Amino acid sequence: MAPERITGRSLLYYLFLSLPLFAFFSSIFIGPFHINPVQLVDLMASKILGYATDYPDVYSTVIFQVRLPRLLLGMMVGASLSVSGAAFQGIFRNPLVSPYILGLSSGAAFGAALSLAFLPGVSIQYAAFFFSLLAVALTYFMATTNRSTPIVSLVLAGVIVSAVFDSLLAVIQIAVSERALQSIVFWIMGSLGTASWSKIYGAFPLFALGCTVMLLLRWRLNVLALGDEEARSVGLNPEKYKIIFIVSASLAASSAVAVAGIIGLVGLVVPHMLRMIFGPDHRTLIPLSLTFGASFLIVVDDFARAGLGFEVPVGVITTLVGAPLFAYLLRTTRSGGWE
Interacting span for another protein (CB under 8 A) from 96-104, 111-119, 275-283, 299-307: 275-283
- Coil, strand or helix at 233: helix
281 binds another protein (CB under 8 A): yes
- Minimum CB separation of residue 213 from another protein in Å reads 10
Of 37 and 279, the one with the shorter C-beta distance to another protein is 279
- Minimum CB separation of residue 157 from another protein in Å reads 20
Residues binding another protein: what is the number (CB under 8 A)?
33
- Coil, strand or helix at 94: coil
Measured distance between the N- and C-terminal CA atoms of the chain, rounded to whole angstroms: 26
For residue 227, the number of C-alpha atoms closer than 13 Å in the C-beta half-sphere is 5
167 binds another protein (CB under 8 A): no
* Residue 250, amino acid: S
Interacting span for another protein (CB under 8 A) from 58-66, 90-98, 113-121, 197-205: 90-98
Apex 25 CA angle, 55 and 99, nearest 5: 125
339 binds another protein (CB under 8 A): yes
* Residue 133, amino acid: L
190 binds another protein (CB under 8 A): no
Integer Cα distance of 45 and 222 in angstroms:
44
- Minimum CB separation of residue 83 from another protein in Å reads 16
- Minimum CB separation of residue 99 from another protein in Å reads 18
Q: What is the DSSP string of 305-337?
A: IIISSS---HHHHHHHHHHHHHHHHHHH-GGGS
- Minimum CB separation of residue 231 from another protein in Å reads 8
Binding to another protein, residues 299-338 (CB under 8 A): 334-335
Residues 6+ apart with CB under 8 A from 282: 86, 90, 218, 219, 221, 222, 225
Of 34 and 334, the one with the shorter C-beta distance to another protein is 334
- Minimum CB separation of residue 225 from another protein in Å reads 6
280 binds another protein (CB under 8 A): yes
95 binds another protein (CB under 8 A): yes
- SS in 3 state form for 120-166? CCCCHHHHHHHHHHHHHHHHHHHHCECCECCHHHHHHHHHHHHHHHH
- Minimum CB separation of residue 279 from another protein in Å reads 7
Interacting span for another protein (CB under 8 A) from 89-97, 152-160, 162-170, 311-319: 89-97
Integer Cα distance of 264 and 327 in angstroms:
14
152 binds another protein (CB under 8 A): no
Using an 8 Å Cβ cutoff, are 78 and 291 in contact? no
Of 61 and 233, the one with the shorter C-beta distance to another protein is 233
**Alpha helices per DSSP H over the chain:** 7-17, 19-27, 37-49, 57-60, 68-91, 104-117, 124-143, 151-175, 178-189, 197-216, 218-224, 228-233, 238-260, 266-278, 282-302, 314-332
96 binds another protein (CB under 8 A): no
- Minimum CB separation of residue 136 from another protein in Å reads 22
Q: Which of 247, 246, 253 is nearest to 267 (CA)?
A: 253
94 binds another protein (CB under 8 A): yes
- Minimum CB separation of residue 189 from another protein in Å reads 32
Q: Distance from CA of residue 320 to its chain's centroid?
A: 16
- Per-residue interface string for the shown chain with another protein, residues 206-245, x marking contact by CB under 8 A: ----------xxxxx-xx-xxx-xxxxxxxxx--------
Of 166 and 281, the one with the shorter C-beta distance to another protein is 281
- What residue ranges bind another protein (CB under 8 A)? 1, 5, 90, 93-95, 216-220, 222-223, 225-227, 229-237, 275, 279-281, 283, 334-335, 339
